[in-house]
Structure 1
Amino acid sequence: MQDVRHWPCESCGADLRFAPGQTRLVCDHCGHVQEIPATAPTDRRGMGELDLHAALADRLPASASEQVRTTPCPSCGALVEFEGATHATQCPFCATPVVAGTGETRLLKPQAVIPFRLTEREARQAMTDWLGRLWFAPNGLVQYARKGRALSGLYVPYWTFDAATRSRYTGQRGDAYYTTRTVTVEVNGRPQRRTERVRQIRWTPVSGRVAREFDDVLVLASQSLPRHYTEALEPWDLSALEPYRADWLAGFTAEGYTVGLPEGWSRAQEIMARTIRGDVARDIGGDEQRVGQVETAYDRETFKHVLLPVWMAAYRYGGKSYRFVVNGQTGRVQGERPWSAWKIAFAVLLGLIAAGIAAYISQAR
């Protein structure tokens, strides 16, 4: 986790912050506004794909990485990064005090970032709306979340991968056909013979080839947030990526990656394999398919390290902790599901009453 650099206001010296949804830095102290320069074409070329094999073999230019002081959070594992003379801080995920270690780590620099589009107020509204739509959610938590402490803006690390794939497969194609059979059934106490159609499948061995170009397969590079949380925030509009510059991070926090490039590539291959399996099933055709062995060759593998915006909140209510995340680009929400015991009990009671009334009416007839 990185406490991002501070940008002093030219007028009063206070810290500037990036204004979500805009292209400017603002000073909350004196109101000064500083525009972020427009992205030049040469800057966009700087966020191009990097060669995966060169990176895995540690053959990227030295300018692609940087030396940083990092310490893993002892509670949640988030990678806490220290800048300048800072030697102690607090983990924004779990509030655990973290003290800087003596070692340094060389990490790949981010190449691109999607700046926050939603303000903290908009993200809070999206979260409370989401809570309000949940069945059996405690009303008190919704009100507490609406009036509670501010959400934290966090840039979460991801890898994106590109690859051209060619796959050879074997399997079976299933074509349906129908036969008839005669069965005996009882109707009004008497046996009757009836003819019915039975669906059968004729299986034929098949083999073939499929090819696909993958672009920007997204893999979470953090272990601090559960994967099912971040997957629920998708899709992201990656066309909104901007070349990395510290201005976009002013006033926010950015997490260092804790899922390394080799592990990220393995995860990307798993994602690609699911898509390729669907391609194979469509190529086999027929009414049903059995996919056997699939052998995939990869070519032109490249990657990017990007930062995506997430608003995060953690609340303690009724003796329990609840954590929520909001996509800072689209407003999609995911979190731990709260339950209201009295709402559930009331619903059960209403169900029992309705069942009793239905039974009484049935007996009265």
Structure 2
Amino acid sequence: MSQQPPPLPPHDADEPIFLEETSFEEGGERIDDEKGRIFPCEGCGADLVFHIKTQSLKCSHCGFEKAIGFSEDESVDEQDFYGMLAHLQELREQQSDEEGQNQQEVQCESCGATLMFVDTVTSSECPYCASPIQLEKAHTSDKRVPVDAVLPFQIEQEVARQNLRSWVKSLWFAPNEFVEKGAEGTFHGVYLPYFTFDSMTSTHYRGQRGEHYYVTVGTGKNRRQVRRTRWYPASGAFQRFFDDVVILASRGLKRQLIRELEPFPMHLLVPFRHALLAGFTARTYDVELEDGFLLGKERIDAALYSDVCRRIGGDTQRVDSIQSQYDAITYKHLLLPLWLMTYKYKDKLYQVAVNAATGEVHGERPYSWVKILFASLAAAVVVIGGLALSNR
């Protein structure tokens, strides 16, 4: 059983208790031989959690608030990509088998239960007394890529739910019952790990520019215009700088679904603080830094291909070769906020996510095949009618 908090000091029942607005850097208390961290309220001993509206820690029991402080000289800086890869390789060569295990135990300070943090989960709550607990060094250990910054939750759960309702009502070809009832489920606030990459690219390309022209062929009723293409050689070189190419560093979610929530407002990033995670689930990365850059490189290469096609010009293009060099590669390791929900409709599970910084919604949804069928039939009638009129 959880411990009962001490009696509250006397105060006006309509007024929350506010203690001094002290700076709150790492804060909280380390527990279980410094393996975990909790955030007890200084007013009543209950738990502090991150309060989205005030962007501070707040006690839901007595109303006590505490600011999360940042020093003026702190900044969110780019990190040396190759330097970190060398550091990680050195650590891997020194690492013992025990250090590589993917689960850790932490004893809850409130009720004494033992929590098992498995795989990438680093911040959660005790299943017995609901106290928020974090692994102490999961995001700051020098044996992994440390977190550089956090984008705190900006969108409250009720706002996320309202946005979800609007999203459901905007869906085409959705079953009427689904539109009326909406997606029913529980939102979970989660910080997911991301890498962002910067790089200066230098690209050389060769290809062909196609320009269309038309000729008349046939005679009589078979006389018609036919499009043909003249091809001209094209080549060139250019440079382009890529800033903050965002890559999800977690394998447990559908990457394309989460990608649709971008962009994130990176100007709201703040230096990492454990306090920002209090009350939310957080995960560490399971996509390694080097693999993350390979995923980022795919996005960079796609953008460079589009650049090459624009530079070749014409009506159509053939790209024979693209050779790109990537220099000045830097990265940031970030925790970005999402509201996640799994809901059921007609015995099938669907996932939906809300960007907890912008409110953008994207997810899986059911379709009404009856609506799709009628829409297809209507489109076919329009096409047939148009052909009939043109042949008169």
| Cα deviation, residue 92, structure 1 | 11
Q: Tell me, which stretches of 5 or more residues in structure 2 are unaligned?
A: 1-34, 109-113, 122-126, 128-137, 382-392
Q: CA RMSD in A?
A: 3.7
* Higher RCO (C-alpha 8 Å, min separation 6): 1
Q: Is the 8 A contact 1:169 1:294 kept in 2?
A: yes
Identify the residue that residue 21 of structure 2 maps to in structure 1.
none
Q: Is the 8 A contact 2:41 2:59 kept in 1?
A: yes
Q: Is the 8 A contact 2:250 2:286 kept in 1?
A: yes
Paired residue type of 1:23: Q
Q: Report how many aligned residue pairs link the two structures.
A: 321
Secondary structure of 1:42's counterpart equals coil
Deviations 1:4-48 (A, max 9, x none): 8431111011111111243211111111122222x333211xx21
Identify the residue that residue 334 of structure 1 maps to in structure 2.
362
Q: Is the 8 A contact 2:104 2:117 kept in 1?
A: no
Structure 1 residue 136 and structure 2 residue 174: aligned?
yes
Paired residue type of 1:176: H
Counterpart Cα distance in 2 of 1:198 and 1:244: 63
Counterpart Cα distance in 2 of 1:335 and 1:92: 23
| Cα deviation, residue 181, structure 1 | 2.1
Paired residue type of 1:54: G
Matches within 5 A, 1:1-365: 5-37=37-69, 39-44=70-75, 47-58=76-87, 83=106, 86-88=114-116, 106-134=143-171, 135-137=173-175, 139=177, 143=181, 145=183, 148-149=185-186, 151-178=187-214, 180-186=215-221, 194=223, 196-339=224-367, 344-345=369-370
Secondary structure of 1:282's counterpart equals helix
Give percent identity, aligned residues only.
37
Counterpart Cα distance in 2 of 1:286 and 1:347: 38
Q: Is the 8 A contact 1:5 1:250 kept in 2?
A: no
| Cα deviation, residue 234, structure 1 | 1.2
Q: Tell me, which stretches of 5 or more residues in structure 1 are unaligned?
A: 73-79, 99-103, 187-192, 357-365
Secondary structure of 1:225's counterpart equals coil
Q: Is the 8 A contact 1:312 1:323 kept in 2?
A: yes
Deviations 1:295-345 (A, max 9, x none): 1111110001001100011234443322221110111112221246xxx44
Query: Could you say if the C-alpha distance between residues 82 and 203 of structure 1 is closer, same or farther in structure 2, counting changes exceeding 3 Å?
Result: farther
Which structure has greater strand proportion?
1
Secondary structure of 1:268's counterpart equals helix
Q: Is the 8 A contact 1:70 1:81 kept in 2?
A: no
Q: TM-score, normalised by structure 1?
A: 0.76
| Cα deviation, residue 352, structure 1 | 8.3
Q: Is the 8 A contact 1:127 1:333 kept in 2?
A: yes
Q: Is the 8 A contact 2:106 2:116 kept in 1?
A: no
Query: Could you say if the C-alpha distance between residues 316 and 27 of structure 1 is closer, same or farther in structure 2, counting changes exceeding 3 Å?
Result: same
Secondary structure of 2:218's counterpart equals strand
Paired residue type of 2:74: D
Deviations 1:272-308 (A, max 9, x none): 1111111111222222221111111111100010011
